[in-house]
Amino acid sequence: MSEIAGSAVMLIAAQYLGSANHGKGVLLGGISGIAPTKVIIIGAGIVGEYAARAALALGASVKLFDNNVSRLKNLQNTIGQRLWTSVIEPKLLAKQLRTCEVAVGCLSNLSGRTPMIVTEEMVSGMRPGSVIIDASIDRGGVFETSEVTSHESPIFMKYGVIHYCVPNIPSGFARTASQAISNVLMPLLIDAGEEGALKTWPGIVYICVMAFTCLKDI
């Protein structure tokens, strides 16, 4: 699901950067003679990795922030090209946000709320028409200005900046998400059936059914 979310955020950002959606009217990426779009990604987990891959594939300039230096180093080696990375230093982050077109928040915290890294003051200094996608909104959000939205009404404007704060981004791509989770669960169910586990613990079937159901586009 994190792979889907990471890949999707760049497609979403590309859509809302367009003039028809009150964006800056710029193409996500770059073409000959035009400077590449600047993308800031906060968080170097799986979502951040796939967001960076998608942005780089489109030709964007990517800058990645995370306090885990080992994760940043591994990500550079995995992607296979030199990537601008930094620990999360507030003054440097604020400076980069002032000149970016897209900012993605994808930090995670398994023990509680996601750290709120980007303050309202930082957001107010961003360029009008730029796009914020808070992929961590289901755990509180990375941006102080974030508010939960829905697939039916996915964005709101604050300080002239477009905010996309939909929880469970993969549910917007329900068919792909269902197939992906099926690829993981079906081998487990088959192995469990062959070993007789389904007879001794029928609740596993209910859990799997609920996992598929939750992927529906709400």
pLDDT tens-digit profile of 165-194? Answer: 999 898 888 888 888 888 887 777 777 766
What confidence score (pLDDT) does residue 154 get?
A: 95
Residue type present at position 13 = A
pLDDT of residue 217: 44
Domain ranges of the chain: 2-167, 172-213
pLDDT tens sequence across 29-76: 878 888 899 999 999 999 999 999 999 999 999 999 999 999 999 888
State the average pLDDT for the chain: 87
Provide the token pair at 149: 């939205």
- Closest by CA position to 123, among listed 138, 114, 134, 115: 134
Q: Which residues pair with 103 in a beta bridge?
A: 40, 132
Residue 40 β-bridge partners: 63, 103
Residue percentage of the chain with pLDDT more than 90: 59
- Four-point Cα dihedral 195, 201, 203, 207, nearest 10: -40
Q: pLDDT tens digit string along 188-211?
A: 777 776 666 555 555 565 555 555
For residue 203, what pLDDT is reported?
Answer: 59
CATH of domain 2-167: 3.40.50.720
